[in-house]
Structure 1
Amino acid sequence: MSVRQIVGLVAIGLSLVLLTVLHVVGADIDPVSGTLSDYALRSYGWIFDVGTTVLAVGSVTLLGPALLRRVTVPVEAICFGCWCLGLVVLTVFPRDPVGVPVSLVGEIHRFAAVATLVGLPLGALLTAARRPRHMLRVPARAVTVGALVCLAALVPFVISYLTGSPLKPYVGLIERLVSVGEIGLLLLVGLRLHRFAPARSPEQGRPG
């Protein structure tokens, strides 16, 4: 395991600890019906901001080769960039409180949430689809399945936000399940990303 991967794992582990503490401190928010962004509106919202920012740092560290286009092509790099940047935007532009008309800040928060949750699994799916033929299929298959599951899980999450949706009372629980799944996918991609590196041809390997 490389130093980059260790640093990324430590950062993601710290972010999970902070988000867990947030659930303990924010016991006034129902984890079934209340969203993660609701914590940011409380006096202890700084824990949410720090935890999310640290998660973004860990994501950049793990996905560094993809973001620098050494492993993936620009399309995948953009998708992973949406995940990393979207996490930061979510902390800078908080959601609107319940019952308050949607503001520009709230709209930015919504778009950032969509870009974040869609960007990671889509980038992972495209990365796995471009694997070299000779590469072991197990990592690519695991990433593909994980990405498809995360994308499928976004359907009930989006539906839960619709007016009159029967899933609305469970929006918080659905969001937490989606978030856990995406962090798991992040770890899988980040730790396996080196396996998706394009093979060098014999000509490329020869000194000039």
Structure 2
Amino acid sequence: MAKQLVMAKPLTVTASRFALASILSGALFVLLLCSLHLLQPEFDPTWRFISEYALGNYGWMMHLAFGLLAVAQISVAITIFPHIRTVTGYIGLVILGISAIGVIIAAIFVTDPISVSLDDATFSGSMHSIGAMLDYTPVAALLISLSLCRLDAWRPMKRVLLTSSVIAIVAMLVFVIQIPQDGQFGPEVLAGLFGRFLILADIAWLIIVGIHAVKLGASNK
């Protein structure tokens, strides 16, 4: 017996605006991050974390980038809230909200250099780490995607949503595997590279959701 699709509520004008905000915020995040790679080449992208850009002369750009990421996460959550009908979807929304809070914390507090051990971490560095550890956007993406795919309006995006969320999950797992147990980072540890893959996978999913939501909003006019 074929699974019956559920009709989705039309997106309001406000929801469409939040969807557009998620797209613009995500795109600006990528633009700022790419710019920081050029402006601060002293941070080797293969093993230095993107958070360390906040330690350089253009640190304000990294703070802004994290803020934009949080805006993208919150905007997507607000946009799709009326379309969530399952417990799985609501759990995904909660995780996405917690992730946004974590990113905001990471935006406010500056990380310590990667050479600083956990025992010597500053208060700011510890708070930044806590914020980063709260970010489970890939998990939220998968749960939300599974929920949205039940709706007729989102069915055309089923393959794209699930593929992008699974890619984010894989990127997160690979990133975690790269973290050395002794906490000693160096050029041989590619945590920076896979961390960048992870954040770009997160942004890709957020933008994909935002773009389709904008299209849904336009079709309701």
* Same-fold status (TM-score > 0.5): yes
Residue equivalent to 1:36? 50
In structure 2, how many angstroms separate the alpha carbons of the residues matched to 1:166 and 1:29?
12
TM-score (norm. length: structure 1): 0.78
Partner of 1:86: 102
Q: How does 1:130-141 map to 2 (within 5 A)?
A: 130-131=147-148, 133=150, 135=152, 137-141=155-159
Q: What's the CA shift for 1:50?
A: 1.1
Q: How does 1:1-208 map to 2 (within 5 A)?
A: 2-66=16-80, 69-72=81-84, 74-100=90-116, 101-116=120-135, 118=136, 120-131=137-148, 133=150, 135=152, 137-162=155-180, 163=182, 168-192=188-212
> Shift of the alpha carbon at 1:183?
0.6
Taking a change above 3 Å as real, the CA distance of residues 74 and 134 of structure 1, as seen in their structure-2 partners, is closer
Which has the larger displacement, 50-59 or 170-179?
50-59
Percent of residue pairs identical: 23
Q: Is the 8 A contact 2:47 2:186 kept in 1?
A: no
* 4+ aligned runs moved over 6 Å, structure 1: 164-167
Count the aligned residue pairs. 192
Change (3 A) 1:194 1:78: farther
Residue 199 of structure 1: aligned partner? none
Q: Distance in 1 between matches of 2:25 and 2:191?
A: 27
- 1:48 maps to a residue whose letter is M
Gaps of 5+ in 1: 197-208
TM-score normalised over the length of structure 2: 0.73
Structure of greater relative contact order (alpha carbons < 8 Å, 6+ residues apart): 2
Residue 115 (structure 1) shift = 2.1
* RMSD value, Cα: 2.9
Q: What are the ranges of 5 or more consecutive residues in structure 2 without an aligned counterpart?
A: 1-12, 217-221
